[in-house]
Amino acid sequence: MAGQNDVSALEEQMVDNSVKKSERKPNLWNRLSGPVKVGLAFALIAIVMALIGLLKGAVTTPLSVRSILMALVISGGTWGVVSWAIATAVVEVEQDVAAVETPTPQAGTEDDC
């Protein structure tokens, strides 16, 4: 009987833990919209590519804090903003297409009789 009590207590604890997890606020990544996630992902890719380009081309371009920051801001910012704008446009077009494709009842049709 003691084994069953332990099992039921463990089950109750698991249910309580799952309820607590579901009541938690979602983290920042989960609260972001899809287009913002796309923009951040492409910005991160652009920043990594800019850093690699700076390190490989260090022979011709002197590395300084200013040149590194400029490369990161220009590449990450440009790729992030452009990819965010494209993803936002795609989401809006998909919503418009979905709104047009859903049938709406119109007044005066035969179905109203």
**How many Å apart are CA 44 and CA 95, to the nearest integer?**
28
Contacts of 45 (CB under 8 A, 6+ apart): 79
Whether the predicted pLDDT of 96 surpasses 80: yes
Across 10-96, where does the E strand assignment appear? none
pLDDT of residue 20 exceeding 90, the answer is: no
CB 46 within 8 A of CB 75: yes
73 or 3: whose pLDDT is higher? Answer: 73
Task: Name the band, by pLDDT with cuts 50, 70 and 90, for residue 7.
Answer: low
In this predicted structure, what is the pLDDT of residue 41?
A: 93
Residues 99, 103, 105: CA angle, nearest 5 degrees: 120
pLDDT tens digits, one per residue of 22-67: 566 778 778 888 898 999 999 999 999 998 988 887 777 778 888 8
Instruction: Look at residue 2 in the predicted model and tell me its pLDDT.
Output: 53
> Higher pLDDT residue, 24 or 74?
74
**Mean of the per-residue pLDDT values for the chain?**
80
Task: Return the number of other C-beta atoms located less than 10 Å from residue 44's C-beta.
Answer: 13
- Token pair of 45, please? 């890719």
